[in-house]
Structures are given as C-alpha cells and as structure tokens.
Amino acid sequence: MSRSLREDIHIHAQVDAVRARLVPAAVGLAYGWLPEAFADARWDDGALSFRLALPLRSERAQLHLGSDDGRALEFVAASGSDAIRAMTWVMNPEGVHEVHLLAELAYEPVGGPFGWLLEMALHRPLRQQALRDALWRLKLIVEGRS
C-alpha cells in the first residue's frame, strides 16, 4: 500500500529561481540543497537520483521528470519496484517575490511482520523530517541566506 507525505513552505523569491533549483540546467549537478538524509543526490539526463538513508533501510530512487506544467513538477520512478514512487513539487506564486511551495513524497513502506512498526515508529517520522529539512534548505539557498 503506497503512502505519501506532504510539507509546504513560503519562499521569498521569484518562482523561476525556485524552479531553477528543482530542475537544474546542468547535467551532473549535485542537489546541494538536499539534506544529508538524501545521500548522493544528483541530476542526470532528466532524472533526480538519491538514496534516502533511514535506520535499517536505504531507499534508492531514480525519479524522471514525468510532468511539468510550469508550476507543478512531478518526478516519477521508472520502475514500480522502487520504494520511492514519486516526488511532486507545486509552486504557487503569491506575488512577484513570493512563492508557496508544496512538496509531496510518495513511497512504499517496508513490508513484513514488523514493517508497520518500523514505518510508524521510525521511518515515517524520519522521512517527514527529511522533507522538512529539504524545504528549509531550499528556502535558505534561494533567498540567499545560506
């Protein structure tokens, strides 16, 4: 059963500046604004790849840009077997230098007899914090405060 997490943040910048960090122009560019939980994050050939480091679990992701309408970006896994299924970023301009950014992470939790316990007690809260940290670091960099 697939699950998802959502977080949002308000960024004092133009929407194009935010978008440029989410879809970098340079191939091979490291996603330096992602927190340590998103290990080895890179942008290559239209795909964002990273390894989400969780206790007792490491989830590799290779997410390709599936849809882009200028304000909403959806990165989806090429393989249905990947634990990270999708990452969506929705940018809502609220002024010339104001953007409300919503991030959603869709994933498949660990299975097995103790999977639900790991998910509720450990993995879900750490995924949520990793997403919060990613948004906060993106905000600081785009606003020029990092």
pLDDT of residue 29: 59
pLDDT of residue 88: 96
Q: Please give the single-letter amino acid code of residue 17.
A: A
CATH class (in words) of the domain with range 3-142? alpha beta
Non-local (6+) Cβ contacts of 137 within 8 A are 33, 34, 35, 146
- Please give the Cα distance from 146 to 139 (Å, whole number): 9
Q: What is the pTM of this model?
A: 0.90
Domain boundaries, the chain: 3-142
- Please give the Cα distance from 18 to 71 (Å, whole number): 10
Handedness of CA 8, 13, 15, 16 (dihedral sign): negative
Helix axes 15-22, 124-142, angle to 10 degrees: 130
Query: Which residues of the chain are modeled with pLDDT < 50?
Result: none
pLDDT of residue 30: 62
Q: How far is CA 129 from the centre of its chain?
A: 11
pLDDT of residue 111: 83
Going by C-alpha positions, the residue among 104, 98, 47 that lies closest to residue 72 is 104
pLDDT of residue 116: 84
